[in-house]
Amino acid sequence: MIEELLPPPVASAEHFGDAPLGELFPEEAASVASTVAARRAKFRTVRSCARTALAQLGIPAVPIPRGPRGEPIWPDGIVFLLRSSTAFLLAGSVAPVRPAAFACGAAAWTCATTYVYLVNGVHDAPEDRLNANGRPISGGRLAPERARAIAWVLALLALLLAALGPVPLLTPLVAAQLLCGYAYSAPRSP
């Protein structure tokens, strides 16, 4: 469904449920080996979606390792958006951009990503405590109520920056990041 909303050169992939076992490269599997099973399943599903979307852009299957803060390290020239209850991944090739457009886009994307991080941290705090990952919310250094308030301010700022910026595709991508991030993190109804 989401692929109908996005213009080329954006690729998307989705999984409903968890991806089959055994689809991780060794360095990817090692980076989540000590986490709880639910976290490993999410990680595996997102990596599977990533490879599907990257293949649509002509990029062969490669490991997508984690950086020093746990962030995915994407192949050069790829802008990404990933998050949701069904693990959507959007990837688009990047054309050279003016510095002002880049700064506006980077600020909007940073606000949207931080929103997702905070919303996820509030909803995943019990699991994060089990994984002992040291995040501010699960570690008690940031109150969940304050995190929620900051998250909503960042969401509004992200949309405002995207709308005011000179890159038309940025607004729907930021909106998709916010919506998918919330859907990924929000509590599931029975």
| Tokens coding 70 | 């746990």
The reported pLDDT for the residue numbered 5 is 54
In this structure, the answer to whether residues 131 and 168 fall within a common structural domain is yes
In this structure, the answer to whether residues 76 and 133 fall within a common structural domain is no
> Is 118 within 8 Å of 147 (Cβ atoms)?
yes
Q: pTM for this structure? A: 0.51
| CA–CA separation, 161 and 71 (whole Å) | 23
- Residue after which a domain boundary falls, among 95, 119, 149: 95
Higher pLDDT: 6 or 163? It is 163
Confidence of residue 42 (pLDDT cuts 50, 70, 90): confident
| Tokens coding 22 | 């055994």
In this structure, the answer to whether residues 6 and 91 fall within a common structural domain is yes
In this structure, the answer to whether residues 88 and 146 fall within a common structural domain is no
In this structure, the answer to whether residues 34 and 73 fall within a common structural domain is yes
In this structure, the answer to whether residues 117 and 63 fall within a common structural domain is no
Rounded to the nearest integer, the mean pLDDT of the chain is 77
Higher pLDDT: 64 or 155? It is 155
pLDDT digits 0-9 by tens, 76-134: 776 665 543 333 344 444 445 566 766 777 888 889 989 998 998 888 887 777 776 67
In this structure, the answer to whether residues 91 and 108 fall within a common structural domain is no
- Residue after which a domain boundary falls, among 77, 95, 113: 95
In this structure, the answer to whether residues 108 and 184 fall within a common structural domain is yes
Measured CA to CA in angstroms, residue 167 lies from 131, 159, 189 at distances of 39, 13, 36
- Residue after which a domain boundary falls, among 28, 63, 95: 95
Number of domains in the chain: 2
Residues spanned by the domain of 8: 1-95
In this structure, the answer to whether residues 73 and 136 fall within a common structural domain is no
In this structure, the answer to whether residues 141 and 81 fall within a common structural domain is no
Contacts of 179 (CB under 8 A, 6+ apart): 84
